[in-house]
Each structure stands twice: as C-alpha cells, then as structure tokens.
Amino acid sequence: MAKILIPSALRAFTNGQSEAYINGATIGQVLGNFAEQFPQVRRHLYDDQGRLRNFVNVFLGDDDVRSLKKEATPVKDGDVISIVPAVAGGTPELSKEEISRYSRHLILPEVGMDGQKKLKAASVLIIGTGGLGSPLAMYLAAAGVGRLGLVDFDVVDASNLQRQVIHNTRAVGRPKLASAKEYILSINPNVQVDTYETRFTSENAFEIAAGYDIVIDGTDNFPTRYLVNDVCVLLGKPNVYGSIFRFDGQASVFWAKKGYARRGPCYRCLYPEPPPPGLVPSCAEGGVLGVLPGIIGCIQANEAIKIILGKGDLLIGRLLLFDALGMKFRELKLRRDPKCPVCGEQPTIHELIDYEQFCGVTVVEEDGKRVNSFDITAKQLAGKLAGEPIFLLDVREPEEYQICFIPGATLIPLKQLPERLTEIDGTREIVAYCRTGKRSAQAVELLRQAGYTSAKNLAGGIHAWADEVDPSMSKY
C-alpha cells in the first residue's frame, strides 16, 4: 500500500479526499488503480493515448519519477506518492508569423506591440453570424483578437448571401456556425473560435457572456437587444450596438459600468420600452441594402478594437446615424437616464427577465417549433384549406404576389388593409400570410381590433408553406 497525496485540484473527483492508500508494485500500477477507484481523475492525469499529461508531475518521496524509472519505478509499502501540478504560464507574445501578419498595426504608434498583445489577449462575444456578425467576425479575426465567441443556431439560407459575406454559396444548408468558423480560421488561424449552437436566452446569457471582455449583438431583434443590454449592464461589460433597416443604420457603445469613469447610457436609457410587436418591420420583411450591415458592422468592429486598445473617442453617449441613400452620417447625443430601470440610480431590474414577453412576442411550443398563440402552421393551414371555408388573405405587395402565392388567396397589401376591411369575408375563418409572417402578424392584430377575433397568422409565411407544403414554390 502506498499513500497518494491528492492535490486540491483533483479533490472534486475524489469525494474531497486529500489522500488515498492504493495497492500496486510500480508507480504505473498505483496510479492505474487510483484512476480505477476515481474514474473522473483519469482524464486529468492521462491524455487520449494513455500517457501521463505533461503538466502532471509524479514524485516518489522527494524524487521526480521521471528521474527514476518513470512509471516502472518500484513502490514499497508505506511510500508516499505526490501528484504535483506543473505550475507555469506567462504573458502572450507574438510569433514571427504574427509579427509579419500584424506589421501594419505594429508600426502604428496607437497600436504597436503593446496594443497587438492586448488584441491577442482580448475576447469578444458576437451574437448572430448574419449581416452584422459577418464583417464583425471577419475584421476582428483579421485584426488579431485572440478569442471570438459566436452564438447562432440557424442554417445558411440562399437569401442570406446578399449581405452575410462570411457564408458562401456552397454553405447554403450548412449550420451558420460551422461555415463562419471555417472562414474565420481561413482568415487567421491564430484566433480561438468558441461556438455556441443555441438561442441566446435569459437562461444561458450570463454563463456565455461572463467569459468575454466585450459583447456585440448582431441579431437585430428586440428581445435579444434588451437581453444583451441587461446582461451587459449587470455584468459591467461594454455592449457595442448596431442596427440596420433598408438604407439606414445606427451604431453606439452602451457601457453603463458602475463606478467607471467613462460610464455612459445603456440601451434602456434610450428606449425604456420596446415598440409594439410588428410596428417595426425586420430586414426580412422590409428589406435591407446588402452593403449596409457591412458598413455598420465595420463601425462596430472599429469601436470594439478601440475599447481593447484603450484609444480614441468611443461612441459612448453618442448615437451615430447613417443614411446610405443620402450618404450622410449624423450624430445624436445620448444621456444617461437616472431613472433607467436597469442602470439608473434606483434600478428595478436586478436579474434577467422574459424578453419575449417583455417585447410582446407571445410564444408557445408546437411540434418542437416556437409559434405565436395566434399562429397557424403551414401544415395546419393545408389541412384546413382541404375541408373548411377559409378566407386566405395575402398582405404582401403586388410585386411579391407576382413571384408566388398560395392558391385561393385574396391580395390586400398591409398598408391598404385599414381602408379595405369591407372586402374581408367575416363569415369564413380568416388566415393572413406574408413572406415570413411579420407583416401578417400586424394584419391579424388589426383584424382582431376590427372585430375579426378569430383571425390567424400563417407562422413563417409563404416560406414555411414552401418548406412544409409545396416544395415547388419559389422562395425569395
């Protein structure tokens, strides 16, 4: 029997025991029996090939077994074996390859070796690898940011390619994370890319964001925007904000860290409450100029790099507005709201809430899919159309109707709906649809207010119809 002294690092796997008496004639046997008794210890002591890891030192009495007969070193009764963690580390330095790669940074006095090392030591979390996430991830990787975290759960769709330049034509149908990671590493293999194939939610947000210096929301939807804001305020992290719609973009840096000298407003100081659901159309509904997220995403990347370097004037307390058609930049001053519910003097929000509910998005799970309670799925609609009298309302524009439509639909564009309510046949069950379900959600809201309380919305719009019912239909 030999006595093994267990380092505190491994005691989580030995039921808290600080020593153990183990049989064995050699060091190898004793350690093998030890790992047998406490199976979770094994992966910390041995690598995949079954060799002792190089940061594990084993001492017999006062001697390193590497200087004796290694694992064949004989063990007597009463011997004391110590498992000693190697303790080492150091400051990041730049390799020759990195020095060549970053030379245009290194000769800038504002960056230099110090700044480049700061970039290498930095970590940035990017939520969404879409229009904004693409240029963000690409430029931050190229600039030498050491660790990028990416959160996404979507797959690449053909309609993404017009602006989401991190994904290419061959990637259509692939998970966005796999496609983005591959491209980032092709730009700069020195970057560590951590991927989170999940929705960013109140349940996982703290855990994911805690390990990063900066958080950037590239998703452009209200629930995530408020969630990112609150997570950043509560963790004291900078939130580099960007938003795009059609030809207009916005950017700012929200950094409401308490006690921080450059403390600025947060997103809630600007917009305490979200707009009613459906009022602000998304890019999927309203369209977006492909280069616009490129420009706004680059502005966000620029600010993230300045935060890391500690140089320049950040967009703290300033909202930058960009008009791509007029080609104009404007700037608005933002002030901290002392009554802000999350960063104000007497905050009422101390933990994360249900952001979908807060933003008025009612969501229920159905067949594993998340749908609004007024929603009907494409399959359900197909079933109803076969047997029941349905008034099918298409609220898209005439140009879209020309591309494709669901047979039997009546076209009344959303904007004309308030004046044309008399054309609705209230004797039948009403189902409205549009391209992806956002505009028709507004139409349903309007119809319900006008007394058509049974009106339903086709979840996922004509896209879902093409996916689930009629694969021959074109998607646009």
Partner 1 sequence: MPIIFEKPHLTEIQRHGEATYPHECCGFLLGRVETDRRIVQQIRAASNQRNDSPQNRYEISPKDYLHVDREARESGLDIIGFYHSHPDHPARPSAFDLENAWPGLVYVIVAVTHGKAGEITAWLLSDDRSRFLPEEFATATDFKNFQF
Q: Does position 11 bind partner 1 by CB under 8 A? A: yes
Q: Measured from the CB of residue 309, what is the shortest distance to partner 1 in angstroms?
A: 11
Q: What angle do CA 40, 82, 62 make, to 5 degrees?
A: 165
Question: Applying CB under 8 A, does 381 fall inside the site for partner 1?
Answer: no
Element (H or E) spanning 156, and its range? none
Q: Is 449 helix (H, G, I), strand (E, B) or coil?
A: helix
248-254 vs 239-245, strand pairing mode: antiparallel
Q: How far is the CB of 459 from partner 1 (least distance, A)?
A: 36
Q: Cβ closer to partner 1: 193 or 299?
A: 193
Question: Interaction with partner 1 in 192-221: which residues (CB under 8 A)?
Answer: 192, 194, 210-211, 213
> H or E segment at 83?
strand 80-85
Of 20, 52, 118, 289, the one binding partner 1 (CB under 8 A) is 118
| Dihedral in degrees, nearest 10, Cα atoms 69, 70, 72, 77 | 90
122 interacts with partner 1 by CB under 8 A: yes
Q: Which of 213, 205, 200, 229 is nearest to 145 (CA)?
A: 213
Residue with tokens 């004037």: 313
Question: Which residue, among 54, 58, 18, 53, has the nearest Cα to 38 in the 3D structure?
Answer: 18
Query: How far is residue 373 CA from its own chain's centroid?
Result: 26
Beta strands 2-5 and 19-22: pairing type?
Answer: antiparallel
| 434 counts as catalytic | yes
Compare residues 89 and 451 and give the one whose CB is closer to partner 1: 89
- The binding track of 64-83 with respect to partner 1, each residue x by CB under 8 A or -, is x-----------------x-
Strands annotated E in 379-471: 390-394, 410-411, 429-433, 456-458
147 or 257: whose CB is closer to partner 1?
A: 147
236 binds partner 1 (CB under 8 A): no
CB 12 to partner 1: min, Å: 5
Of 375, 358, 357, which is closest to residue 366 (Cα–Cα)? 375
- 15 touching partner 1, by CB under 8 A: no
The only residue of 46, 85, 187, 470 in contact with partner 1, by rule CB under 8 A: 85
340 is catalytic: no
Site track 45-64 with partner 1 (rule: CB under 8 A), x = hit? ----------x-x-x--x-x
Q: Is 90 among the residues that bind partner 1 (CB under 8 A)?
A: yes
**With binding defined as CB under 8 A, does residue 99 bind partner 1?**
no
Distance CA 5, CA 3 (A): 6
Q: Which are the catalytic amino acids? A: 283, 434
Binding site for partner 1 (CB under 8 A): 5, 7-12, 18, 44, 55, 57, 59, 62, 64, 82, 84-93, 114, 117-118, 121-123, 146-147, 192, 194, 210-211, 213
